[in-house]
Amino acid sequence: MTDTSGTYAPLTPETLGQRLGNIAAIREKLGNNSSTWTIKEVGDGNLNLVFIVSGDKGSIIVKQALPYVRLVGDSWPLPLRRAWYEYNALIRQAERDPGSVPEIYHFDEGQAIIAMEFLTPHVILRQWLMAGKKHAGLAERLGKFCARTLFRGSDLSMDTAKRKADVRLFAESVELCDITETLVFTDPYFQAERNHHTPGLDPLVAEMRRDIDLKVEAQHMKAKFANNAETMLHGDLHTGSVMVTETETKVIDPEFALYGPMGFDIGMLLANFWMAFFAMPGHLKDAAKRADYQQWILGVTDEIWSVFSAEFSRLWRTERNGILYEKCLFEDQGQPLGSEQALGHYLAHIWQDMLGFAGVEMIRRTLSLAHIAENDLIEDETLRAECEARGLRMARQLVVNRTRIPSMANVLDLARQISERTPV
Among 342, 373, 383, 414, binds a copy of itself (CB under 8 A): 342
> Binding a copy of itself by CB under 8 A: which of 24, 98, 136, 190?
190
CB-based contact 236:423 (threshold 8 Å): no
Smallest distance, Å, CB 224 to a copy of itself? 9
Verify binding: residue 193, a copy of itself, rule CB under 8 A. Answer: no
Q: What is the C-alpha separation between 273 and 282, in angstroms, rounded? A: 15
Nearer to a copy of itself, 204 or 415 (CB): 204
The continuous run of DSSP H or E covering 123 comes out as: strand 123-124
Rounded to a whole number of angstroms, the minimum distance from the CB of residue 201 to a copy of itself is 18
- Among positions 41, 103, 140, 155, the unique one binding a copy of itself when judged by CB under 8 A: 155
Q: Any contact of residue 401 with a copy of itself (CB under 8 A)? A: no
Tell me how far apart the alpha carbons of residues 418 and 239 are, in angstroms, rounded to a whole number. Answer: 22
Residues with Cβ within 8 Å of 390's Cβ and at least 6 positions away in sequence, in order, are 278, 418, 419, 422
Radius of gyration over alpha carbons of the chain, in Å?
22
Does 353 interact with a copy of itself (rule: CB under 8 A)?
A: no
Which has the closest alpha carbon to 411: 293, 306, 256, 335?
A: 306
Can residue 210 be called a binding residue for a copy of itself (CB under 8 A)? yes
- Can the peptide bond before residue 121 be classed as cis, meaning omega within 30 degrees of 0? yes
Minimum CB separation of residue 231 from a copy of itself in Å reads 8
CB of 221 to a copy of itself, least distance (A): 11
CB of residue 418 to a copy of itself, shortest distance in Å: 25
Cα 63 to Cα 140, 256, 373: the distances in Å are: 28, 15, 22
58 torsion bin: left (phi>0), alpha (psi -120 to 50), beta (else): left
Query: Nearest approach, Cβ of 341 to a copy of itself (angstroms)?
Result: 5
- Find the part of the chain contacting a copy of itself (CB under 8 A) among 62-70, 109-117, 180-188, 388-396: 180-188
Q: What 3-state class would DSSP assign to 411?
A: helix
Q: Per residue, what are the HEC states of 286-322?
A: CHHHHHHHHHHHHHHHHHHHHHHHHHHHHHHHHCCCC
Residues in the chain: 424
* Shortest reach from residue 153's CB to a copy of itself, in Å: 12
Q: Which of 398, 38, 420, 23 is nearest to 218 (CA)?
A: 398
Does position 177 interact with a copy of itself (CB under 8 A)? The reply is yes
By CB under 8 A, tell whether 302 contacts a copy of itself.
no
Site string for a copy of itself, 318-337 (x = CB under 8 A): -----xxxx-xxx-xx-x-x
Amino acid at residue number 26: I
Closest approach of a copy of itself to the CB of residue 260, in Å: 10
User: Rule CB under 8 A: is residue 247 a binding residue for a copy of itself?
Assistant: no
Q: What angle do CA 298, 306, 304 make, to 5 degrees?
A: 50
x/- map, 115-144, a copy of itself, by CB under 8 A: ------------------------------
Q: CB nearer to a copy of itself: give 289 or 345.
A: 345
Pick 178 or 376: Cβ nearer a copy of itself: 178
Dist. CA 31–CA 37, nearest whole Å: 8
Minimum distance between the CB of residue 170 and a copy of itself, rounded to whole angstroms?
A: 10
Q: Which residues bind a copy of itself (CB under 8 A)?
A: 154-155, 160-161, 164, 167-168, 171-172, 174, 177-178, 181-182, 186, 189-190, 192, 209-210, 212-213, 215-216, 219-220, 222-223, 226-230, 323-326, 328-330, 332-333, 335, 337-338, 341-342, 345
